[in-house]
Amino acid sequence: MSPADRADNGPIGFSDDPLLLLHYTAFCNASCAHCIVESGPQRKGRMSLDLAGDLIEGAGGVPHLRTVVFSGGESFIYLDDVLQLCAQARAEGLVTRIISNGYWARTPEIAARMLERLGGEAVDQLVISFGEFHRAFIPAERVRNVFLGARQASAAPFVAYSTVIAGVRDDPTIDVGGYAWPTGVLRCLADYGFAAEECVPLAAAVARGATLAPDERTAFKKAMVHERALINYEPLAFGGRASRELRDRQRLRPIEQDAGTPCSVVGRQITAVTSGRLYPCCSVWTNFPNHALGVADSATDMPAMVDDMQMDALVRFIHERGPGPLIAQLRQAGVPLAGEYSDICHMCQTLFEHVSLDDLRQAAALAFNGANRRSPDEGGP
Ligand code: SF4
Ligand code: SF4
C-alpha cells in the first residue's frame, strides 16, 4: 500500500478492512472485571519479537489487510518493542493502532509528550479504553489527561476512547449537540470529567468523515483529535473474566431472540496471541487453545493462512448466520447446551466449552446443508 493509500485508510483513520491483531502480551497492570481475554498482572510473558516481526511482514502481503493492532494486555508495558514493530508495520505499508488503558498519562503534559513521541514514530491510531470496570485500577483523570494532552501536543496519532457499558442496548438516549447518547454512556463520560458537548460518537465521526472531500477530511481529522473526544461504546459481553465476575450484570435472553444474529467481525480480526496461536476474532475464541485455527511459526505464510481461516466452514457459518443456529442444532441432537444467552460471544463461549473444533466444523457443514444450500465456495468474511 502506498503512503497515500495508507493515510486514506478510512475517513478518519478507522477502516472496516480486515485487521491483524497482536496480543503482544497478556500482561496488564489492571484486572478489569469485564476483560474477555483475562489479561492481568499474573499473565507474564510476551510474544517473541521475531515472531511478531514475521507476522507483520506476512500481513503486509495479505490483500485488503491494512491495519495492525496491538491489543492484549497493556501494550505500553513493552512500548519500545511495540514501537519497533509499528515502524516495521509502517514500512510494510500498514496502518498501526495501539490500544492502551492510558495509565501512563500522569499529567496532561506527560500525555502530550507521549502523544508527540507516538506521532513522531510510527503510530497512526491510539485507542484509550476506559469505563466503570477500569476505574478500580486506572485513575479516571489519566484518561482525561490524554484528552488534554492531545490538545497541547504538536503531533499526535488519531486518538479515540472506547468504553464498555452494561445495559447500553436498553438505555434511553438523550440528544446532545445533535448526537443521541445512551444515558449510560453520558454517566460514564461525566464520571471521567468529559462534557458531552466535547465528545463525538466515533461512529458518527466516521460517517461524517466519509462525506468529506480529501482536503476537508484532513482538517476534520485534526479538529476531531485536538478539540473533541471520539467515543466508541459497546455493550458488556459475556466471556472470560466477565462470565465469572459480572454474571449478575448480564441479562440472559432466550436463544431464539439472537439465534439469527451473524458475527460481522469473525474472519476479519485475525488474532495472534502470545503463544503464536491464531484465531479468527479477538474475543472469547482466543481463550480456547484447542479451538485455535493454526499456530504461527517463523515461516508462517500469512496470505494462505488468512485465506484458510476465512474459508473455514465454522468461520463462514458464524460470519453468515451466527453461532445461534449451531446451538439450536446441537441441542436438537441432544447436546446439553443452555437455552439462554446474553449475546453471541456468550454463545461461542458455550460452544467452545462443550464441543470440539472438529465437531463444530462438522455441525457448521451440516447446518449449511440443512438449509438446503451447499457450503458456499466463493467469498468469505
Ligand atoms: S480490559 Fe484492558 S486494561 Fe482491563 S485487564 Fe483487560 S487488557 Fe487490561
Ligand atoms: S461471536 Fe464468536 S466469533 Fe464473533 S466475536 Fe464473539 S467469540 Fe468471536
Q: Is the pLDDT of residue 7 over 50?
A: no
Tell me how far the alpha carbon of residue 344 lies from the centroid of ligand 2, in angstroms: 7
Q: Determine the pLDDT at residue 3.
A: 42
**What is the structure's pLDDT at 283?**
93
Helical packing angle, 324-332 and 357-370, nearest 10°: 90
In sequence order, the β-bridge partners of residue 117 are: none
Residue of minimum CA distance from atom 1 in ligand 2: 345
Other C-beta atoms within 10 Å of 214: how many? 10
Distance CA 70, CA 82 (A): 8
Of 35, 38, 69, which is closest to residue 52 (Cα–Cα)? 69
Residue with cell 502523544: 115
Q: Is 235 helix (H, G, I), strand (E, B) or coil?
A: strand
Asked if residue 30 has its Cβ within 6 Å of ligand 1, the reply is yes
Which atom of ligand 2 lies closest to the CA of 348? 2
- Ligand 1: distance of its center to the CA of 32 in Å? 5
Q: Is the pLDDT of residue 15 over 70?
A: no
Q: What is the enclosing helix (H) or strand (E) of 145?
A: helix 140-152
Q: How far apart are CA 327 and CA 259, in angstroms?
A: 9
Residue 340: alpha-carbon gap to chain centroid: 25
Q: What is the pLDDT of residues 81-106, one digit of tens each?
A: 999 999 999 999 999 999 999 999 99
The atom number, within ligand 1, closest to the CA of 34 reads 1
Taken in order 226, 228, 229, 233, the sign of the CA dihedral is negative
Which residue from 43, 134, 234, 284 has its CB within 8 A of the most atoms of ligand 1, so it is best to mutate?
134
Q: Which atom of ligand 2 is nearest to the CA of 285?
A: 7
Which has the higher per-residue pLDDT, 255 or 361?
Answer: 361
Q: Is the CB of 73 under 6 A from ligand 1?
A: yes
CA distance 144 to 138: 11
Q: What is the distance between the terminal CA atoms of the chain, rounded to a whole angstrom?
A: 21
To which residue does cell 484518561 refer?
A: 143
pLDDT tier, 374 (very low <50, low <70, confident <90, very high otherwise): very low
Please check the confidence at residue 197 and state whether its pLDDT lies above 90.
yes
CA of 236 to the centre of ligand 2 (A): 14
Which ligand has its closest atom nearest to the C-alpha of 282? 2
For ligand 1, whether the C-beta of 39 sits within 6 Å is: yes
Are residues 189 and 147 in contact, defined by beta-carbon separation less than 8 angstroms? Answer: no
Q: Is 26 helix (H, G, I), strand (E, B) or coil?
A: coil
Evaluate if pTM is beyond 0.85: yes
| Spatial CA neighbour of 95 closest among 71, 60, 129 | 60
Identify the pLDDT of residue 376: 45
Q: Which ligand is nearest to the CA of 70?
A: 1
Res 147 pLDDT > 90: yes
**Paired sense of beta strands 199-201 and 229-235, if any:** parallel
110, 148 contact by CB (below 8 A): no
Could you report the per-residue pLDDT of 325-343, keeping only the tens digit for each?
999 999 999 999 999 998 8
Q: Is the CB of 326 under 6 A from ligand 2?
A: no
C-alpha pair distances (Å), 16 with each of 23, 188, 195, 228: 20, 26, 28, 22
Minimum-distance ligand to the CA of 99? 1
- Report whether pLDDT(379) > 70: no
Task: Tell how far the Cα of 192 is from the centroid of ligand 2, in angstroms.
Answer: 29
Pairing of strands 269-272, 277-279: antiparallel
**Residue bearing the CA closest to ligand 1, atom 4:** 32
Please report how the helices 49-59 and 302-311 are oriented relative to each other, as an axis angle in degrees rounded to 10.
Answer: 70
Distance, in Å, from the CA atom of 311 to the CA atom of 315, rounded to the nearest integer, reads 7
Number of residues assigned to the chain: 381
Cα–Cα distances in Å, from 257 out to 316, 320, 344? 21, 17, 11
H or E element that contains 19: strand 19-25
pLDDT digits (tens, 9 = 90+) for 154-195: 988 989 999 999 988 889 999 998 999 999 999 999 999 999
11 — pLDDT class (breaks 50, 70, 90): low
189 alpha-carbon distance from chain centroid: 20
Cα 126 to ligand 1 centroid, rounded to whole Å: 15
Ligand 2 contacts CB of residue 281 (under 6 A): yes
Q: Can you tell me the distance from the alpha carbon of 34 to that of 235, in angstroms, rounded to the nearest whole number?
A: 11
Q: Which atom of ligand 1 is nearest to the CA of 73?
A: 7
The answer to whether the beta carbons of residues 346 and 339 sit under 8 Å apart is no
Query: Using one digit for the tens of pLDDT, what is the confidence trace for 288-303?
Result: 999 999 998 876 788 8
Q: What is the average per-residue pLDDT within 300-322?
A: 92
Dist CA 159 CA 165 (whole Å): 20
**Residue 299, pLDDT score:** 66
Alpha-carbon span 28 to 33, nearest angstrom: 13
- The set of cell numbers assigned to 88 is 516495521
For residue 31, how far is its CA from the centre of ligand 1 (angstroms)?
Answer: 6
28 Cβ closer than 6 Å to some ligand 1 atom = yes
Proximal ligand: closest to the CA of 326:
2
- How many Cα atoms are found within 13 Å in the side-chain-facing hemisphere of 170? 7
As a whole number, the mean pLDDT across the chain is 90
- Radius of gyration for the chain, computed over Cα atoms and rounded to the nearest angstrom: 21
| Nearest ligand 1 atom, CA 101 | 3
Does the Cβ of 344 fall within 6 Å of ligand 2?
Answer: yes
- Identity at 5, one-letter amino acid code: D
